[in-house]
Structure 1
């Protein structure tokens, strides 16, 4: 995180007339939340990096975006706009991933050092509404959104294993084609059926519309991202928000849109595997609990473990064709891409949980040696399934950044085009700074 701030300060020093750096808040641990602003346009764009602690690519992407806007010889990128680039929304959580960030970039090294806080400590979510936001990082972002009233907001996310995709709060016609062109040029697989947008409207291949927020139980919020969020908070200003997901390990099967031969058999296997893995992890957690008093900050690791173990059984039931009693939400028609994404998602939840338990076991000392050894074998086995069974391959960081920055720029340009078209026609809701009612699409 310090290196990212230093690079931002150096960039601003090279362009003092067009770039500024300011602090817009502090994290729970007192880390400054730093914002780079580029340009002097009257219309505001906001880009948020590091909303999830284990997704570091956005930090490099915002610096790439800043450099491109500063060196763009024409008006396309500036478009009478000021770019506001938040370097990292969750710097405290990001620091806890430093164990794998320096490499080697292997699946085992990543999952053994993975950290993502529990759902209630993730700063983009508003489980109790904006007025009752508890985290200082969340309050800082909300204040920034209300200050800027951006016409365009982009949240930079990462997919650990799978492919790239985009989620939008409003349609941006033309974006699926731009995503396809960028992905093809850079060799990035597009994830056509990500599990968290399984029931969401599709706007085109690998582009999905986020449903309006609704209050629900914690499990539904985690699995469907349906809770009130900072993605929708500036919706009242006419903002279009784009969530740009870039993969770290790519899997070609997530863009296979052909019809499966026997979807039910695959779903049974995925569901039964997730239930089996969950039971094994619950036993491992039970064996670790007597030794956790000696683990520093064990609660921070236990919170996401509890979240994952909470949602896994419900997901397994939702995907299993044999558990449908007529009351559950029916699965949409599934392609091979959907089935590959569900297989990856089930394994992801188990591997993340195993990695967090591995860290707890390491901290618990010799008394947890047997559990640690069992978790090591499990992580190796499951990572081998990703590598050999799913064909997961590491995507170099430079290519991740290039993909994410190009998709973000495409979304910006299309949002700018639509905003200007709306202004010319006199439509409300797309002018920068114009307050409009919350639109329940």
Structure 2
């Protein structure tokens, strides 16, 4: 992967709101995600090529001691100037589409003076805020269409180790102040820049495209639907990630708010204070009136993702089936983990993650069963049925894959007891059946340039909304 360095501007179309859809097709073709070192090298090549436009700035240090960087693109504006735009990649290290998006955005801003002039502010771009976690996913970055590689080399940190969900939080009985070094670096950047616009770059696994924003923006909904449609990718109109998020338009949601999550869990009879860690970057920047925006793009697309045709099954029954599958998955993985736990000697990140995630499956199954009892008596849509099934496949591949990595670490280190080896073989056998079942359900791979193009065009449209005044009204608590 190389940064675009053509002498012509990156865009020939006028920079007008109606043209944002056209920008989705401007990302160069690539067949791999850049590793951390390669990504930073490409940004530095861009900075060397445009010394008057790009400024590299260290913003912090990772948990393992790696420097964290932001690259500011601006026409003579200081890195500390307020009211600009902040773009953050790698907030979840298993979501690398943002690496390609950040590089393309920085390149476009350098090569197109009209684009810079239109936004009239500094862009602060963080290529990867969690390099420690990203390095643990690099085993599949080079072969992103290989679903087996994806699962076998997958890593996602435990909830209280995720940058996006470790901002300070205090609500009712919940209190969180174990801020990660990476989160602190991001907090400092946000405090220094007080941005009018913030986007953290995310991607999901299968289905269609969907969005989050911290307040309604009806003028954006049409273009947000048109951008993926222009490249033949569906919206995700089925089940939301969280049942408590507000729906603004098809596939457009309000942000996942931890206060809302607390109240929702409390209403289900769950001890919410034990299930919630920190808050998000969206909540943190409410104090500045920032317009926060997320585009979730899937690695794989499936035609059922936006099919709102009623099925022959009741909606509640589909949710209950999902709950049963989650309970069964949690029981199996929990049994493997419980049997191996006394014999495990290596406190790997994979082990920390599964010790957090695997018990949550039983809790999620219980919550889904409770939710099903209160659902309206209507047929499930094809997209709802798809999302319920796809989420089970995702949990199996993700959590099962990380447990395999935790047990394999003991095997290759020579510390595995016969019990650990036995449980590793047992898990691998079941995991292979999960892989075969998940393969057709996840759908067909989407080109990286398409995913990054959707993310890029959507963030430009949303940033333009913020530029035009869409961020002026804060709806949050400045405290």
Please tell me the TM-score bracket, short chain as reference. Answer: 0.7 to 0.9
Residue in 2 aligned with 1:247? 298
Residue in 2 aligned with 1:433? none
Does residue 12 of structure 1 match 2:47?
A: yes
Query: How many Å separate the matches in 2 of 1:332 and 1:200?
Result: 21
Contact 1:22–1:35 (CA under 8 A) maintained in structure 2: yes
Query: How many Å separate the matches in 1 of 2:67 and 2:195?
Result: 22
Query: How many Å separate the matches in 1 of 2:311 and 2:342?
Result: 46
Residue in 1 aligned with 2:477? 438
Query: How many Å separate the matches in 2 of 1:194 and 1:46?
Result: 29
Query: How many Å separate the matches in 2 of 1:193 and 1:54?
Result: 23
Query: How many Å separate the matches in 2 of 1:233 and 1:49?
Result: 17
Contact 1:260–1:336 (CA under 8 A) maintained in structure 2: yes
Unmatched segments (≥5 aa) in structure 1? 423-427, 431-435
Equivalent of 2:151 in 97, 107, 111: 111
Deviation at 1:73, TM superposition (A): 4.5
Residue in 2 aligned with 1:46? 86
Equivalent of 2:396 in 342, 346, 350: 350
Residue in 2 aligned with 1:138? 183
Equivalent of 1:25 in 33, 46, 60: 60
Unmatched segments (≥5 aa) in structure 2? 1-35, 171-175
Contact 1:33–1:89 (CA under 8 A) maintained in structure 2: yes
Q: CA distance change for structure 1 residues 75 and 282 in 2, over 3 Å: closer, same or farther?
A: closer
Q: Secondary structure at the match of 1:340?
A: helix
Q: Secondary structure at the match of 1:109?
A: helix
Query: How many Å separate the matches in 1 of 2:290 and 2:191?
Result: 11
Contact 1:35–1:85 (CA under 8 A) maintained in structure 2: yes
Contact 1:25–1:33 (CA under 8 A) maintained in structure 2: yes
Does residue 95 of structure 1 match 2:135?
A: yes
Residue in 1 aligned with 2:437? 385
Query: How many Å separate the matches in 2 of 1:404 and 1:24?
Result: 24
Residue in 1 aligned with 2:17? none
Deviation at 1:211, TM superposition (A): 5.3
Does residue 57 of structure 1 match 2:97?
A: yes
Residue in 2 aligned with 1:176? 221
Q: CA distance change for structure 1 residues 336 and 315 in 2, over 3 Å: closer, same or farther?
A: farther
Q: CA distance change for structure 1 residues 166 and 221 in 2, over 3 Å: closer, same or farther?
A: farther
Query: How many Å separate the matches in 2 of 1:306 and 1:27?
Result: 22
Normalised TM-score (structure 1): 0.86
Deviation at 1:153, TM superposition (A): 0.2
Contact 1:108–1:380 (CA under 8 A) maintained in structure 2: no
Deviation at 1:202, TM superposition (A): 1.2
Deviation at 1:437, TM superposition (A): 6.3
Equivalent of 1:310 in 353, 359, 363: 359
Residue in 2 aligned with 1:425? none
Deviation at 1:265, TM superposition (A): 3.2
Deviation at 1:221, TM superposition (A): 8.5
Contact 1:199–1:332 (CA under 8 A) maintained in structure 2: no
Query: How many Å separate the matches in 2 of 1:48 and 1:322?
Result: 34
Deviation at 1:261, TM superposition (A): 2.4
Query: How many Å separate the matches in 2 of 1:309 and 1:226?
Result: 16
Q: Secondary structure at the match of 1:174?
A: helix
Residue in 1 aligned with 2:473? 429
Deviation at 1:59, TM superposition (A): 1.2
Q: Secondary structure at the match of 1:232?
A: helix
**Cα deviation per residue 1:169-191 (whole Å; 9 max; x = unaligned)?**
12222323222212112222321
Q: CA distance change for structure 1 residues 310 and 270 in 2, over 3 Å: closer, same or farther?
A: same
Residue in 1 aligned with 2:461? 410
